[in-house]
């Protein structure tokens, strides 16, 4: 399924699940706003070399989880003939918080960053971003993949909830396995 079809399906389902009493005159506006936001999210993922975008759109215990997960397309190495370890060290050095992890036997760097709100870009609240960067084993020239998780830090949200979402993403990444066709 393509991006356009996925957005249409999500919007159709979301609109069909609006709470009872939602003003019928506001449905077209809600549909348009949701479509706009989903298209912008997909555009941002594409802009950052995103290959796959995961967005929770189903309500869980009465709320939609304010998070996303993007897997990048394979990316070229920043410089020719650079050792993967050197790239990992550079990424760790420039990060707010970094650690070395292992993804299916391959060294990776995990970074954590707090991104401030940016109302000029339509970002009303800060977010927390966790990114794993890992070299693709035996790729010549060297190729890399990134796996990024973001969650909003809303003022009324419990920080424990945010930390739990980050732990869940870290747990998901421990199950990562390379698979070749």
Q: Tell me the chain's radius of gyration from C-alpha atoms.
A: 19
Q: Where are the beta strands (DSSP E) in the chain?
A: 50-54, 59-60, 63-64, 67-72, 75-76, 97-103, 106-115, 127-135, 143-152
pLDDT in tens, 51-89: 777 777 677 777 777 788 888 888 887 666 777 777 778
Per-residue pLDDT at 1 exceeds 70: no
* Three-state secondary structure call for residue 2: coil
What's the CATH number of domain 51-174, 3.30.56.10, 3.40.50.300, 3.40.1000.10, 3.40.50.10680?
3.40.1000.10
Which of these, 160, 133, 138, lies nearest to 149 by C-alpha position?
A: 133
pLDDT value for 174 = 92
What residue spans define the domains of the chain?
1-47, 51-174
Q: Mean pLDDT highest for which of 38-47, 54-63, 144-153?
A: 144-153
pLDDT in tens, 89-146: 877 787 788 888 999 998 899 999 988 888 887 677 888 889 999 988 888 778 889 8
Tokens representing residue 86 in the block: 């050197």
Per-residue pLDDT at 49 exceeds 70: no
- Predicted TM-score of the model (pTM): 0.75
pLDDT value for 7 = 73
pLDDT value for 58 = 72
Which pLDDT band, with edges at 50, 70 and 90, does 27 fall under?
A: confident
pLDDT value for 175 = 92
Q: CA–CA distance from 139 to each of 15, 38, 101, 143, 144 (Å)? A: 45, 34, 20, 6, 9
């Amino acid at each position: 399924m393509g991006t356009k079809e996925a957005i249409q399906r999500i919007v159709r389902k979301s609109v069909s699940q609006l709470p009872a009493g939602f003003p019928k005159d506001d449905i077209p506006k809600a549909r348009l706003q949701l479509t706009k936001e989903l298209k912008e999210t997909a555009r941002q993922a594409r802009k950052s070399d995103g290959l796959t975008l995961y967005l929770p759109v189903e309500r869980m215990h009465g709320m939609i989880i304010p998070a996303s997960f993007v897997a990048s397309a394979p990316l070229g190495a920043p410089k020719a003939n650079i050792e993967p370890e050197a790239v990992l060290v550079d990424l760790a050095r420039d990060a707010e918080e970094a650690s070395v992890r292992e993804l299916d036997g391959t060294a990776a760097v995990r970074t954590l960053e707090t991104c401030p709100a940016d109302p000029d870009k339509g970002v009303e609240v800060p977010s927390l971003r966790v990114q794993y960067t890992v070299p693709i084993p035996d790729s010549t020239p060297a190729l890399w993949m990134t796996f990024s998780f973001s969650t909003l830090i809303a003022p009324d949200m419990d920080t424990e909830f945010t930390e739990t979402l980050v732990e869940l993403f870290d747990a998901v990444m421990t199950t990562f396995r390379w698979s070749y066709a």
